[in-house]
Amino acid sequence: MRLPYLLLDIDGVLIPFPNEDGSTPATHVRHDVVPVGRSVDNPVTVWLNPDHGRLLMDVIHTGLVTPVWCTSWRQDATTLIGPLLGLPAFPHVDLPRPQITTSHPDGYLWKRDHVDGWLGDAPAVWIDDDFTSLDHAWAAERTACGTATLLVQPNPYFGLLSEHLTEATRWVAQLPAARAA
């Protein structure tokens, strides 16, 4: 059995959404970044928790997962966000740029069909803030059919917490491949 992928979203996970008053958690630091297609005169402001890099590296150093960005930031995740957190380069799921007005055009997360095809029969822990009950049913069906799948869903106003990574690590550690290693 191959190592499970650790699929990581960014918006709502590493970059929390602002509260009604526009504030973000005090743990997060402001950065201005210039994604592909933007000019230096028009950067994007993001708030990142510097502890996330260390926490993610702790999970990666277990050797139990293969980290992959799964975000609309695409390659910018590796070139802009990862370095701000001290993360090494890792691959990304090459998601399309759909013309949608909701993140759930079919009742489930727009990324899911692309991720499903990308994963094939690989096990995965997917951390994203935007799952619906249909996504959770999809993960349960994959697991029931022999492809272990865990969805971890942070609150988008707080983002990733150490408890989410503890849950992911404990889950991966109990998989047959982890016990065989």
pLDDT tens across the length of the chain (181 residues):
589 999 999 999 999 999 999 899 999 999 999 999 899 999 999 999 999 999 999 999 999 999 999 999 999 999 999 999 999 999 999 998 877 777 887 888 889 999 999 999 999 999 999 999 999 999 999 999 999 999 999 999 999 999 999 999 999 999 986 655 5
Predicted confidence (pLDDT) per residue in 149-170, tens digit: 999 999 999 999 999 999 999 9
Task: Kindly tell me the burial class for residue 141, based on how many C-beta atoms sit within 10 Å of its own C-beta (0-12, 13-18, 19 or more).
Answer: exposed
The whole-angstrom separation of Cα 112 and Cα 116 is 6
Q: What is the full DSSP assignment across 101-163?
A: SSS-TTSS-TTHHHHHHHHTT--EEEE-S---HHHHHHHHHHHHTT--EEEE---TTT---HH
pLDDT at 180: 54
What is d(CA 88, CA 74) in angstroms, rounded to the nearest whole number?
A: 15
Straight-line distance from the first to the last Cα atom of the chain, in angstroms, rounded to the nearest whole number:
10
Q: What pLDDT score was predicted for residue 178?
A: 60
Q: What gap in Å lies between CA 13 and CA 11, rounded to an integer? A: 5
